[in-house]
Amino acid sequence: MPTHVPIKPTVLDRAVSYFFPALGLQRMAAREAQRAYLKASSPRGKKGRFYRNVPTTGEVFAADGRSTRARAIDISQNQAQVSGAITAITDHTIGAGGIRTNCEIRYNPSARPDDADAQANRESSNSAVEDDKSRWLERAWHTGASRMDHIEAQTLRLRNLVIHGEDIVHRRFLRDPSRHLPLAYEPIDPAQLEGITGTPNRGNLIEQGIEYNPDREIVAYHIADNSYALRTTRVPAADIIHTYRTDRPGQQRGITWLAPIMAHVDELEDIIEYSLIARRIQSAIAVLVHKNPNNIGFGASTPGVAHPTGADATDADGNRLSAIQPGMIHDVGTGNVTPFTPSPSTDLDDLTRLVLRSIAVGLGVSYEWVSGDYSQANFASARLGENRTWKRIYTINDFYTRKCEAPLHRDYIDIASAWGTIPAVPKKANPYSANYSQPHRDWGVNPMQEVNAITTAMGAGLTSLPDEAARRGMDYRDLLRRINESIQFARLLNPDISLYEGLLTIPEPPAAAQE
């Protein structure tokens, strides 16, 4: 377990802590967070072997990850490309209808497929459980005065995983007669899990708001009232669902998924900012005169005389051009400066594309999803990018389903069985067995060409009609029935186009076109 030596308080810190203990703790936490964040960024252009003392990401979060989370929140809200990519990832992963559970409780797993009674019992049991669970989900999320449905909760939890690197849910049992079941969940802002670090009176160790017993088992979480308050509430670990992606052994907290792109986001912001500054300077300078010994026609004629606009053209010693004002003609004196009008870089698009590609790689999506720029793409390259992005979406969906949605389903089955709102599950059956819905793909950048590509892939045996229909949220049997009904209906109508020929006016082509 890596150790971390905290910073020593200064004389000012001791003085502030003496009169204002809470403020003193906040000062120390802020300084420690800033130091940890700065140490996490190794100097660019240097090899890692020269910076062996740079802490790992886990050590940074062990010190205080608040500043890193704050940076992730900032770029997720204020950086247009990153914010748009996060929204696209979460919306496509969760989908318009959310991730739904199709129960698969089998009363007799060994029954034959042609056993009508067993299949009927299975279908009725699954339908009863799904209906009961839908009723429970209407008020499953406890958020105080606001109302949050299950789809909103899924989107929020996935955003927490992307931005904060972790999702925290407080499992609660509310004795509310209006609730179908007392089981409820309260989302917790990961910033509230800062808590305290030290050894409380009961002898357990608290690190990053998580309390461990001497055997290094998690026994409780210390949830702050908000991300700034020092007062915390101790919640037993059995009532907390803490989800994060484990990237290293011994990891205690989640690491933001935006960590790999933070440096590239800074570079993109710098490129755009400095390009705008160059254009402002260029528009601010009208003329630079470097040969005008008699000061003819450019404002003040003698040193120290005020310019008509109120600004001095020269100082008392005859030094001109103390400042540049927009739209002015400036006399800088012979030989004082080389005439130069700044010209903004013409390769801004190339630089921004380079950085945006790095951001896209870090997020695991295509460049087009991050930038919205299809000017350099054709159908083949755009389709490759879409396929790569959707592989990422399916991977995130599987991770979220396994880590976030499956535990809620198991909780529901246990509570609903205990309360008798669903039929009792036989011993031979798996009460937690369920299928989860997958994200529904759209038709790509060009639907007609996408259809041709799918047709070619099916002809080559690379995919099938059931698979392609399932990716778009349709049952292939219903799709075939709809196609057949459309064909039959069209034949039944048998429209006669010749009846409308007299009503249609087709313009004659121009003479040049006829030649």
Neighbours of 138 (CB within 10 A): 12
Is residue 434 predicted with pLDDT exceeding 80?
yes
**Mean pLDDT on 276-296:** 61
**3-state class (DSSP) for residue 250:** coil
Nearest to 16 by CA among 30, 31, 27: 27
Q: Which residues of 292-318 are buried (b: 16+ CB within 10 A; e: fewer)?
A: eeebeebbbeeeeeeeeeeebbbeeee
Q: What is the pLDDT of residues 331-377, one digit of tens each?
A: 555 555 545 555 666 677 888 888 888 888 888 898 888 888 888 88
Is residue 328 predicted with pLDDT exceeding 80?
no
Is residue 258 predicted with pLDDT exceeding 80?
yes
Place of tokens 């808590």: 195
Q: Which two tokens stand for residue 76?
A: 């997720």
Nearest to 418 by CA among 183, 253, 96, 226: 183
The pLDDT of residue 157 is: 95
Nearest to 441 by CA among 465, 460, 469, 462: 469
Residue 473: burial class (beta carbons within 10 Å; 0-12, 13-18, 19+): middle
Q: What does pLDDT average to over the chain?
A: 76
- State CA 417 to chain mean position distance: 36
Which of 55-59, 242-246, 253-257 has the highest average model confidence (pLDDT)? 242-246
Q: What is the pLDDT of residues 377-427, one digit of tens each?
A: 888 888 888 888 999 999 999 999 999 999 999 999 999 988 888 877 766
> How far apart are alpha carbons 115 and 124 in whole angstroms?
14
> How far apart are alpha carbons 386 and 392 in whole angstroms?
10
Q: What is the pLDDT of residues 202-237, one digit of tens each?
A: 778 888 888 888 888 899 998 887 655 567 888 999
**CB–CB of 299/331 below 8 Å?**
yes
pLDDT grade, residue 301 (50/70/90)? very low
Is residue 184 predicted with pLDDT exceeding 70?
yes
pTM reported for the whole predicted model:
0.71
Nearest to 439 by CA among 484, 390, 483: 390
The pLDDT of residue 399 is: 95
How many residues does the structure list for the chain? 515
Is residue 472 predicted with pLDDT exceeding 90?
no
How far, in Å, are 198, 305, 318, 321, 467 from residue 330 at the CA level? Answer: 64, 15, 14, 7, 71
Is residue 327 predicted with pLDDT exceeding 60?
no
**CB–CB of 416/181 below 8 Å?**
yes
The pLDDT of residue 299 is: 46
The pLDDT of residue 44 is: 47
> How far apart are alpha carbons 96 and 81 in whole angstroms?
22
- Is the sign of the CA dihedral 364, 366, 367, 372 positive or negative? negative
Is residue 41 predicted with pLDDT exceeding 60?
no
**3-state class (DSSP) for residue 231:** coil
pLDDT grade, residue 296 (50/70/90)? very low
Helices (H) and strands (E) in the chain, counts: 16, 11
The pLDDT of residue 284 is: 65
Domain range summary for the chain, segments of one domain joined by +: 11-64, 89-258, 447-505
> How far apart are alpha carbons 13 and 25 in whole angstroms?
9
The pLDDT of residue 304 is: 40
Is residue 286 predicted with pLDDT exceeding 60?
no
> How far apart are alpha carbons 63 and 57 in whole angstroms?
10
> How far apart are alpha carbons 179 and 136 in whole angstroms?
7
Beta bridge pairs of residue 328: 285
Name the strand (E) or helix (H) holding 236.
strand 232-236
The pLDDT of residue 52 is: 43
Q: Which residues contact 336 (CB under 8 A, 6 or more apart)?
A: 290, 320, 321
**3-state class (DSSP) for residue 443:** coil
The type of residue at 302 is T
Residue 17: burial class (beta carbons within 10 Å; 0-12, 13-18, 19+): middle
Phi, psi of 187 (to 5 degrees): -70, 140
Is residue 298 predicted with pLDDT exceeding 50?
no
Q: What is the DSSP string of 360-403?
A: HHHHTS-HHHHH---TT--HHHHHHHHHHHHHHHHHHHHHHIII
Is residue 497 predicted with pLDDT exceeding 80?
no
Comparison of pLDDT for 202 and 100, the residue scoring more? 100
**CB–CB of 429/106 below 8 Å?**
yes
Q: What is the DSSP string of 278-339?
A: HHHHHHHEEEEE---TT-TTSS-SSTTPBPTTSSBSB-TT--B-SS--TTEEEE--TTTS--
pLDDT grade, residue 191 (50/70/90)? confident
